[in-house]
Amino acid sequence: MRSDIESQIRTAIAIIKRGGTVVYPTETVYGLGADALSEAAVREVYKIKRRDVSQPISVAVSSFEMLHKVAYTDPEISEILFALLPGPVTVLLKKKEIVPSLLTAESDVLGVRFPDNEIATRIIEETGPITATSANVSGRTPPTCVEEVELKLVDIIIHGSKCKYSMPSTVVDMTTANEGKAKIKIKRRGACYDRVLHVLRSKITGEGLYSFPLP
């Protein structure tokens, strides 16, 4: 079984490098991956998901170095990121120019995932950033095991195990974090919400520096 997974990982890496698409496991839900820095590959992801291009797609990275290549951070925010990631969290940051505007629906805000899943991170280590959007047709329930994946037009579906948390990530908005008296907001309550809340409260001090509106 392990050798089969190894073969699937190698195949997935080759597919992404040539502009194709893969379904891969994470700790939250199964994702639809393609080269996040290729506009053509991103466009194919939108097509497969039947997702409107007005809806942005997040990216997945496998290291903080890779995160810094696609998004802007500062030392204070980096400290929070180190406490949250890798894990079932999507952080919203200001994107760098290397990221296609198609991916962010023409905005400067980029969702970034650093998955806590060996298969996902091994692929990303070899390919660079990939798309991190659930492997389902838009509007349908995200798959939490390979048996629930219904997408037909992808190049490979990796047969990993059931997702650890089996629910979407918690989304934390850090886009104003380096603009004076910032407000870091939880935009969506998802996996490990209580832990995320604890980390933010422990890392950020000072009246008015943070807010936590319930999604």
For residue 186, the domain's CATH number is 3.90.870.10
Question: Which domain covers residue 131, as residue numbers?
Answer: 2-203
Residue type, 16: I
| pLDDT in single tens digits along all 215 residues of the chain | 467 999 999 999 999 999 999 999 999 999 999 999 999 999 999 999 999 999 999 999 999 999 999 999 988 888 899 999 999 999 999 999 999 999 999 999 999 999 999 999 999 999 999 999 999 999 999 999 999 999 989 999 999 999 999 999 999 999 876 555 557 889 999 999 999 999 988 877 544 445 544 44
How many structural domains comprise the chain?
A: 1
- Residue at 214 is within a domain: no
- Residue at 208 is within a domain: no
10 Å CB burial of residue 208 (0-12, 13-18, 19+) is: exposed
| CA dihedral for 10, 14, 15, 16, sign (positive or negative) | positive
- Residue at 132 is within a domain: yes
